[in-house]
Amino acid sequence: MSRSAFVLQEMGLSPLWRPRGEPDIHDSPANLAAPIAETAAIVTVATPPSPAAMATPAPVEIPFEIKEATRPAKLPDALPIQDWDSLHAHVAACQRCELAKTRHNVVVGRGNPTARLLIIGEAPGEQEDRQGLPFVGKAGQLLENMLAAAGIHSTEDVYICNVVKCRPPGNRNPAPAEIASCASYLQWQIDTIQPDLIVALGRFAAHTLLNSQAPISTLRKQLHHAHGRPLLVTFHPAYLLRSPGEKAKAWQDWHQVKCQLAS
């Protein structure tokens, strides 16, 4: 069995995408060591959506802004950030909001700082808070599998970060003031990376980046523009772990990401 089929098996999609006549995953365990590069072959297995299915409305530019009601009463003067080392130092020393009192580590981001694809999630979780890196828990493993299945290299082609850089206690949603406190850090990352495409993971990140309250079912499959960059929306991998029946829709989203990067 090919490595690409194994990755899709892990995503819960292999019955949909296994080529005709290919044995079940349990029939050939020795083949699991095949190079990960074979995952790119997945695009030849799935039937690409028709041009009509991929059609999207004309992009609408959505300016990045934080509504006045969500701003903290007073933010400290912006600190000059010259490079990535400077960003990490400023975030590590940040005391702009209450999350600084409960965090173990700040979580700035990981990946290629010149990547074409920027993936933005909501906030660090427990494992991310302990390791200081985004998407390193079970949700991160699923994200890695989805990227591999789409033929996207998670360290060379992608930079991954979150809307806020510290874990909210109990994994609650970040408060408006906490988002505002981190907004300049996120904006610096977007401006510096200048990605060809942004992918917002989950409802919360999509609402923050697009300044919208529309349901994710409405925001998916549309090419938006925000922060001066094209933006697509898909499910957060943590949601997919709770709702595995939505993984097929997530694969459609990642296929659209691949097509957008290839255009």
Q: Which pLDDT does position 80 carry in this prediction?
A: 84
Structure-token pair, residue 144: 């890695």
List, for residues 27-36, the tens digit of each pLDDT value: 433 443 333 3
Structure-token pair, residue 230: 């094209």
Kindly report, as residue ranges, where domains of CATH 3.40.470.10 are found in the chain: 51-262
Report how far Cα 260 is from the mean position of its chain's Cα atoms. Answer: 15
Alpha helices in 34-74 (DSSP H): 42-45, 51-54
Structure-token pair, residue 202: 């989950």
Structure-token pair, residue 91: 């975030």
Helix (H) or strand (E) holding 124: none
List, for residues 231-261, the tens digit of each pLDDT value: 999 999 999 999 999 999 999 999 999 999 9
Cβ atoms of 3 and 39 within 8 Å: the answer is: yes
- Name which of 227, 247, 220, 261 is nearest 56 in CA terms: 220
For residue 235, count CB atoms less than 10 angstroms from its CB and return exposed for 0-12, middle for 13-18, buried for 19 or more.
buried
List, for residues 205-223, the tens digit of each pLDDT value: 999 999 999 999 999 999 9
The CA-based angle 103-104-106, given to 5 degrees, is 75
Position 204: which residue type? F
- 263 pLDDT band, cuts 50/70/90, is confident
Count of other CB atoms within 10 angstroms of residue 59: 13
Residue 8 vs residues 24, 248, 259: alpha-carbon distances, Å: 12, 10, 19
What is the CATH architecture assignment of 51-262?
Answer: 3-Layer(aba) Sandwich (3.40)
Q: Between residues 72 and 143, which one has the greater pLDDT?
A: 143
pLDDT of 144 > 90? The answer is yes
CA distance 123 to 121: 6
Cβ atoms of 198 and 81 within 8 Å: the answer is: no
Rounded to 5 degrees, what are φ and ψ at 204? -65, -50
Rounded to 5 degrees, what are φ and ψ at 103? -75, 155
- β-pairing, 117-121 vs 197-201, is parallel
CA distance 119 to 82: 22
Adjacency order of strands within the sheet including 110-111: 61-62, 224-226, 229-234, 197-201, 117-121, 158-162, 110-111
Q: Between residues 105 and 11, which one has the greater pLDDT?
A: 105
- 75 pLDDT band, cuts 50/70/90, is very low
Residue 36 vs residues 80, 117, 148, 155, 207: alpha-carbon distances, Å: 41, 20, 7, 13, 34
